Amino acid sequence: MVLAAHQPNYLPWLGFFHKMSRCDVFVLLDGVQYARRSYTARCLVKRPDGARHWLSVPVRKTGRYDQKISGVEVHNEKPWQHDHRRTLESCYSRSPHFTANQELLGLAYGRRWDNLSEMNTALILELAARLGIAPRVMRSSELAIDAHSTELLVALCAKLGADTYRSGPSGVTYLEAGRFAQAGITLDLLHYRPQPYPQLWGDFIPGLSVVDMLFNCGAEAVRQEIGPPR
């Protein structure tokens, strides 16, 4: 059984869903420390002037330097939902598949979210459903494992019965391959190379939120890009 894991990011990029489609169990690492300026609270979209633009969810950070992702609170005193919705409508309302997928905007911005991880998880699950990706999804905060880094991932595999851990290519720089081997777990590095696709507003920009390709090309094109589910 193959396990993969990732922090529950905000409207993640295509590579996130490529990894999610290549495993039997996908663990959302909401029990790890929240990293400021990470993709957990922000994503990239493309503006009508052709530039990259950050959509950032405001969160409460003062005095919370060691907080875990599962406990991060959204700072709702700021009109961020209105601003994000207007930005996405400005960027993508002319896209061929915007209307077919604009329900996502209702899910993200049609109700108040107090917890960042809860919102991100709901959006990830909705996007996965649209893309036909259906591994067993778990949250690390619910698994009661007191470990960090490589030890956490090895413990997740052991607890959930996985014999293979599938990591992105950057895993080679921080994971201790020997610990996986000692535990009888295969460490597999998954390489995803995004291909250019039609975008509005000028030259192709890689690394944007999955909604960029979804709105521009449709769910079937995204499914073909990330490949068939495992």
Mean pLDDT, the chain, whole residue set: 95
**Mean pLDDT to the nearest integer, 218-230:** 90
Which residue, chain included where needed, has tokens 């391959």? 177
Above 80 in pLDDT, residue 198?
yes
CB contact at 8 A, 225 and 197? yes
pLDDT value of position 173: 82
Each residue's pLDDT tens digit, 126-136: 999 999 999 99
Rounded CA-CA distance 223/230 in Å is 12
Q: What residues are paired with 6 via a beta bridge?
A: 28
User: Of all residues in the chain, what percent carry a pLDDT higher than 70?
Assistant: 100
Residue 106: name the closest of 120, 127, 85 by CA.
85
pLDDT at site 171: 83
Report whether 116 contacts 59 (CB < 8 A).
yes
Q: Which CATH class is domain 2-226?
A: alpha beta
The amino acid sitting at 137 is V
Q: Do 160 and 138 contact (CB within 8 A), yes or no? A: yes
Spatial distance between the Cα atoms of 220 and 228, rounded to a whole number of angstroms: 11
Q: Check whether 172 has a pLDDT greater than 80.
A: no
Domain range summary for the chain, segments of one domain joined by +: 2-226
Of the listed ranges 35-39, 45-49, 96-100, the one predicted with least confidence: 35-39
CA–CA separation, 128 and 122 (whole Å): 10
What pLDDT, on a 0 to 100 scale, did the predictor assign at position 36? 87
